[in-house]
Amino acid sequence: MLEIKNLHVSVEGSEILKGLDLTVDPGEIHAIMGPNGSGKSTLSHVIAGRDGYEITGGRIIFQGEALTGMEPEERAAKGIFLAFQYPVEIPGVANTTFLKEALNSIRRYRGEDELDAMQFVKMMRKKTEELNISDDMLKRAVNVGFSGGEKKRNEILQMAVLNPSLAILDETDSGLDIDALKIVAEGVNKLRSPDRSMLVITHYQRLLDYIIPDKVHVLAHGKIQRTGGKELALELEEKGYAEFDEAAA
Amino acid sequence: MTKTTSPLAFVDSFDDERTGLPGIDLPWLKTLRRDGIERFKGLGMPTPKLEAWKYTRLKPLEDTSFQPVTDEDGMAALDHVPSLLPDPGGRPRLVFVNGRMRPNFWIEGDLPDGVHLDCLRDVLLRAPDWAESYIGSLTGEDAAALVQLNTAMMDTGFALRVDPGVIVETPIEVVYIGGLTDRPVAYFPRNLIVLGEGAQATVVKHHVGMGVGAYFANAVTEIDIAQGARLNHYEVQAESRDATHLGAVNVRVAKDATYDSFTLSIGGRLSRNEVSVRLEGQGAHAGVNGAYLMRGSEHCDNTTRIEHLAPNTSCREIFKGVLDDQSRAVFQGRIVVNREAQGTDGHQLCKTLLLSTGAEIDAKPELEIYADDVKCSHGATTGQIDETALFYLRSRGIPEALARNLLVQSFLGEALEEIADENIREAFTNKVLHWLPAACFLSEEWRDA
Amino acid sequence: MAATTETLAQVQEMADDKYKYGFVTDIDSENAPKGLSEDIVRFISAKKNEPEWLLEWRLKAYRHWLTMPEPNWAKVGFPAIDYQDSYYYSAPKAVGDGPQSLDEIDPELLATYEKLGIPLKEQEMLAGVAVDAVFDSVSVATTFKSKLEEVGVIFCPLTEALEKCPDLVKKYLGTVVPYTDNKHATLNSAVFTEGSFVYIPPGVRCPMELSTYFRINAKNTGQFERTLIIADKESYVSYLEGCTAPMRDENQLHAAVVELIALDDAEIKYSTVQNWYPGDENGKGGIYNFVTKRGACRGRNSKISWTQVETGSAITWKYPSCILQGDNSVGEFYSIAITNNRQQADTGTKMIHLGRNTSSKIISKGISAGHADQTYRGLVKMSPKADGARNFTQCDSLLIGDQCGAHTVPYIESKNKSAIVEHEATTSTISEDQLFYLRQRGIPVEAAVALVVNGFCREVLQQLPMEFAVEAQKLVGISLEGSVG
């Protein structure tokens, strides 16, 4: 599904990722944990193709294809979805309009027929019921005036609609209280499937109580420092990231 | 249209060798004066036909024949100086009467080394080369008519120079007293404020009328703020009710430097404060604020222009006004963001309360923007005292007149808060309180509440 | 107007891929001689069999026009107009005498309207919008006449109205925009050639949207239409106006005048989608759209609402305004202006509050891209008698790219203490975050820009009648093509 080899990334001239290796197989959930400033968000942005990140070495292979040089919308069409840490507000654009535009753009790219208004509404009704999301949220402008929890649920709804093969959850737990966290995690778990991989990026272990990962990686100083099972997350919770600071020092 | 005949007697009788003019033996200054008068004649006195003067007509200059002040006017008797700041103590203060510096009232104060404060006449004697390099450097050759007029006629003023790194803690006060003469006089202050790198200073200017005579003050202040320096520039315009006050302030702000100003206008038959700020270096900031309180048939015009010329510069502008009787105010505020000035943050607000039928506000807040990565906004409102708030206060037992005063005071508060220095803010607030109808002064306990 | 002319073929070639409405219709036109003089004014008046009073009025306007300087206060730049290098009357020959029904119209002309998306024939059959189509200087068809006549609504070319109801025309023409108003309106008063006339009788709610499509086809032609709409007591009308022009290298002048009059309790809603040819990427060619639109709320409780979507023209100079005379009358101005490439627009409104408790609302959304320059210019005036009057203005600008300009110049004049004026303006850009977010969801960059801009304009788009809103939304996207990336 996703294969990252010796990835070096610079932002405004300073190197953030310094030879990162990562392989995610279909259906797997991987957690990336690490201290602040370790390059977690850089990793998610560089996979999604955001401007301003310069790949100075290494490769990102997604479903057998190198992503380098691809526009963000092309990557989205190929099945990469990034759930943002801070979902962006788009005033005046209704959530449904936005989702329909996104879904049909992806379908066009893939050479599939676009959904007409009726088909789309039907599909949306199904998705919102599955995820327990109220219609009201669809009518409002994208993320405008949404609470922290609503914004994250909106991200999960978008994921359900766009049906990606790789979902990256960037600090999805940030700014959520425990109830909101449970609801969001529940949504994510409903979307687990054998042909969908997920990359869960988080600073804290608590999200992993609800989304159980197959593998946990520790990212520090621009590299994966350690890889283990879900128990590694608990160990980190206890000991913190201090040992990795020393390792680098 | 013939522009050569001016109702201004002093223009017709312009004489660059008139006795009493400062710097009379400096050839460069003579040239400057002559160019100034020629350009002024070419431009003519501004009229409402010019967009910048759409709302202000210089009527008093049309129907009164002002004469330049003489040394004799400057010797008018004065028993006390109307200082803005209480108890000057060791605080430096310069006093001008009818446009002439009065050495007997000069307090040198405890200024640190590296601070040079002089009147224009003395600086032209002591440091003519320095003066030459600054006079006219910010107004430029293509300045507007009234600046040209000042350049030709400048007969008074002060110069403040602060060396790099010097921080002046005490505010420096400059008092211009007008009206103490029985004939219509005109005077033309030219002020220079130059702050070296990292320097800091606070200047408080008080233009105040003490007599009842008609007079005309045409002031120009040029301010140069070097990298990382900061100038706080506060001014009260409390000219007498027959006075005409036309002031222009031109400011250049370098990298990471700050210009912060507040102009309180509470007097004058006709006043106009023109402020022009150029934010030339990255990270430069300007705060241009003010308040205007007018009554009778007073007319006050605040015209500002803030130009963002470098990336990541910012400005903040708040003007508030209260107009009673048949008074009239004009606010023209323009923020210009040049193509290079990406990352600009600009905010402007102008609010006016009309207290009476017959009062008039004309506001023209302008944004002129050529860069895309900017955050700029402006707002303007006009209206009267909120009846609901008034009723609320009265229902709590506060007499109506007092309630009105309280609401006016609270309305002006948003602007006065922009004055960072607590003592000066208090002095300005007092000025506002004294402007309010006398019958309903707030008692001390109210004031604290 | 510059006289550089290229071959038709070249123009056509360019038309095909960029400006959808840029085709030229190959029809014989009957032109008056080039240039402007009293004789031309008399020629136009005679062509239209006008009454003597109107000719006199035109001549007064023409003489006054000669004494007027060009207005120079707007923030637009263009070479001086050579008024002698233009035709002031151009009529498609075959319809010179005025068509009686659609069947008499040159099929070529009808085909033109179809290309424009106004299939007149179909429209007459389907219930919907009544259309008056103005081609160069002559009105070619007014659909739905009979249905409107049933309820007493008069909707016809102005020339026809002079025969049908001369008293109404004489009573109201020039009472909102006097012939001395401004250089462009004065020129229009002297040489106006066509336009629509609408009269809604007391108590009538016009049963359908009325619509006019304007098109400039002939070369070196100015278009000077004049529209007059009167809503009598307790009546209502919604009026739509659309405009296109072929692509030509020379600039063409469009100096129209629109006058609206609303009597007691009447309401007029006037919507415009202006998509005149804007010129090419380098600013060559395009329409000079110098238009005077003004409405008078003469009656108590009357309402006039302007909605405009301005995407075309090389230069737009336009301030649809309301004079709020009647007590409790309401004025509204909703505007979207998009300028791209080398377009210039100086547009806004004037709200003149004269009556008590009058209120006005201004919502302006300006989008500037490419090398374009755009200015919002608006006046809100509270007269001493406008007790309890209110205005709210929201004026937002969006800049796309670092070579364009967006300016806001509001004039607020209040002489009434009980009047409340609130003005807010913001300037911003489409953020990188917004674009990345949309693109991450699979939306291509140009569609993402169009989506954000449509969201930015939503408040105004909502004001448009359905069929116009869809067209306008598409135009927003098309107008900004190539502005990002």
Tokens (6 digits) for C349: 């409104």
Q: Give the mean model confidence (pLDDT) for residues B107-135.
A: 93
Q: Is the pLDDT of residue C22 over 60?
A: no
Q: Give the mean model confidence (pLDDT) for residues A84-100.
A: 87
Which of A84, A99, A106 lies at the smallest CB-CB distance from C437?
A: A84
| Spatial CB neighbours of B12, under 8 Å, sequence gap ≥ 6 | B5, B6
Residue C455: its chain A contacts at CB < 8 A? 90-93, 141
Do C and A touch (≥3 CB pairs < 8 Å)? yes
At residue C54, the pLDDT reads: 92
Helices A178-190, A117-131: crossing angle, 10 deg rounding: 120
Q: How confident is the model at residue B273 (pLDDT cuts 50, 70, 90)?
A: very high
Contact criterion met (CB < 8 Å) for A97 and C457:
no
Q: Give the mean model confidence (pLDDT) for residues C363-379.
A: 93
At residue C134, the pLDDT reads: 61
At residue C121, the pLDDT reads: 47
Contact criterion met (CB < 8 Å) for A102 and C443:
yes
What is the overall mean pLDDT for chain A?
A: 89
Is B380 a domain residue? no
**Amino acid present at B125:** L
Which of A77, A88, A101 lies at the smallest CB-CB distance from C447?
A: A101
Is B366 a domain residue? no
Is B336 a domain residue? no
Q: Is the pLDDT of residue C330 over 80?
A: yes
Q: How confident is the model at residue C157 (pLDDT cuts 50, 70, 90)?
A: confident
pLDDT digits (tens, 9 = 90+) for B168-181: 999 999 999 998 88
At residue C478, the pLDDT reads: 76
How many separate domains does chain B show? 2
Contact criterion met (CB < 8 Å) for C412 and B354:
no
Q: Give the mean model confidence (pLDDT) for residues B158-166.
A: 97
At residue C136, the pLDDT reads: 54
At residue B263, the pLDDT reads: 97
Q: Domains plus CATH for chain A? A: 2-248 (3.40.50.300)
Q: How confident is the model at residue A13 (pLDDT cuts 50, 70, 90)?
A: confident
Q: Give the mean model confidence (pLDDT) for residues A92-103.
A: 88
Task: Give yes or no for B377 touching C (CB within 8 A).
Answer: yes
Residue A84: its chain C contacts at CB < 8 A? 437, 440
Task: Give yes or no for B355 touching C (CB within 8 A).
Answer: yes
Query: Percent of chain B beyond pLDDT 70?
Result: 95
Query: DSSP character for A112?
Result: P
Report CA Rg, chain A: 18
Interface-testing mutation among C336, C363, C431, C438, with chain A (most A C-beta atoms within 10 A):
C438
Domain final position from B230, B265, B280: B280
Q: How far is C473 from chain A (nearest CA, A)?
A: 12
Q: Is the pLDDT of residue B208 over 90?
A: yes
- Burial class of A203 by CB neighbour count within 10 A (0 to 12, 13 to 18, 19+): middle
Distance, in Å, from the CA atom of B63 to the CA atom of B363, rounded to the nearest integer, reads 27
Is B262 a domain residue? yes
How many CA atoms does the CB half-sphere of A48 hold within 13 Å?
26
pLDDT digits (tens, 9 = 90+) for B296-314: 999 999 999 999 999 999 9
Subunit partners of chain B (3 or more CB pairs within 8 A): C
pLDDT digits (tens, 9 = 90+) for C234-253: 999 998 887 665 566 677 78
Q: How confident is the model at residue C40 (pLDDT cuts 50, 70, 90)?
A: confident
Run of H or E including B202: strand B200-209
Do C317 and C290 meet the contact criterion of CB atoms below 8 Å apart? yes
Distance, in Å, from the CA atom of B277 to the CA atom of B262, rounded to the nearest integer, reads 13
Q: Is the pLDDT of residue B99 over 80?
A: yes
Contact criterion met (CB < 8 Å) for C433 and A88:
yes
Q: Is the pLDDT of residue C130 over 60?
A: no
Contact criterion met (CB < 8 Å) for C458 and A109:
no
* Dihedral pair phi/psi, residue A44, rounded to 5°: -65, -40
- Tokens 């999200």, residue? A207
pLDDT digits (tens, 9 = 90+) for A171-180: 988 888 888 8
Task: Give yes or no for B379 touching C (CB within 8 A).
Answer: yes
Q: Give the mean model confidence (pLDDT) for residues C170-190.
A: 93
Interface-testing mutation among B351, B381, B407, B408, with chain C (most C C-beta atoms within 10 A):
B381
Residue B375: its chain C contacts at CB < 8 A? 427-428
Task: Give yes or no for B297 touching C (CB within 8 A).
Answer: no
Averaging pLDDT over each range in B14-23, C148-157, C213-222, which range is the top one? C148-157
**Amino acid present at C309:** V
| Spatial CB neighbours of A79, under 8 Å, sequence gap ≥ 6 | A62, A63, A164, A165, A166
Contact criterion met (CB < 8 Å) for B363 and C425:
no
Bridge partners for C237 per DSSP: C268
Task: Give yes or no for B365 touching C (CB within 8 A).
Answer: yes
Query: DSSP character for B103?
Result: G
| Closest CA relative to residue C309, chosen from C133, C176, C458, C409 | C458
Task: Give yes or no for B380 touching C (CB within 8 A).
Answer: yes
Query: DSSP character for B340?
Result: T
Run of H or E including C445: helix C445-461
Contact criterion met (CB < 8 Å) for B372 and C401:
yes
Name residues 417-436 of chain C within 8 A of A (Cβ).
431-434, 436
Is B81 a domain residue? yes
Q: How confident is the model at residue A58 (pLDDT cuts 50, 70, 90)?
A: very high
Do C135 and C115 meet the contact criterion of CB atoms below 8 Å apart? no
Subunit partners of chain A (3 or more CB pairs within 8 A): C
At residue C92, the pLDDT reads: 55
Interface-testing mutation among C336, C396, C441, with chain A (most A C-beta atoms within 10 A):
C441
At residue C221, the pLDDT reads: 61
Contact criterion met (CB < 8 Å) for A76 and C436:
no
Domain final position from B228, B256, B280: B280
At residue C193, the pLDDT reads: 83
At residue B16, the pLDDT reads: 75
Contact criterion met (CB < 8 Å) for A101 and C436:
no
Q: Give the mean model confidence (pLDDT) for residues B363-378.
A: 93
Q: Is the dihedral of CA A40, A46, A51, A54 positive or negative?
A: positive
Contact criterion met (CB < 8 Å) for C399 and B371:
yes
At residue B401, the pLDDT reads: 82
Task: Give yes or no for C440 touching A (CB within 8 A).
Answer: yes
Q: Is the pLDDT of residue C2 over 50?
A: no
Contact criterion met (CB < 8 Å) for A81 and C456:
no
Q: Is the pLDDT of residue A222 over 60?
A: yes
Is B196 a domain residue? yes
What is the overall mean pLDDT for chain C?
A: 81
Chain A residues touching chain C at CB-CB below 8 Å: 48-51, 71-73, 75-77, 81-82, 84, 87-93, 97-99, 101-103, 105-106, 109, 141, 158, 162
Is B322 a domain residue? no
Beta strand segments in A95-238, E: 141-142, 166-170, 197-202, 215-220, 223-228
Contact criterion met (CB < 8 Å) for C417 and B368:
no
Is B360 a domain residue? no
Task: Give yes or no for C447 touching A (CB within 8 A).
Answer: yes
Q: How confident is the model at residue B127 (pLDDT cuts 50, 70, 90)?
A: very high
Q: How far is C442 from chain A (nearest CA, A)?
A: 4
Q: How far is A239 from chain C (nearest CA, A)?
A: 35
Domain final position from B280, B306, B329: B280
Residue A77: its chain C contacts at CB < 8 A? 442
Contact criterion met (CB < 8 Å) for A73 and C442:
yes
Contact criterion met (CB < 8 Å) for A92 and C431:
no
Angle at B17 (CA atoms; ends B69, B272), nearest 5 degrees: 40
Q: How confident is the model at residue B335 (pLDDT cuts 50, 70, 90)?
A: very high
Q: How confident is the model at residue B400 (pLDDT cuts 50, 70, 90)?
A: confident
Q: Give the mean model confidence (pLDDT) for residues B213-226.
A: 94
At residue C14, the pLDDT reads: 34
Domain range for B398 is: 394-449
Query: Percent of chain C beyond pLDDT 70?
Result: 78
Contact criterion met (CB < 8 Å) for B373 and C414:
no
Which of C433, C439, C452 lies at the smallest CB-CB distance from A73?
A: C439
Q: Identify whether residues B405 and B260 lie together within a single domain.
A: no
Which of B355, B359, B370 lies at the smallest CB-CB distance from C405?
A: B370
What is the overall mean pLDDT for chain B?
A: 89
At residue C139, the pLDDT reads: 53
Contact criterion met (CB < 8 Å) for C442 and A91:
no
Q: How far is B20 from chain C (nearest CA, A)?
A: 44
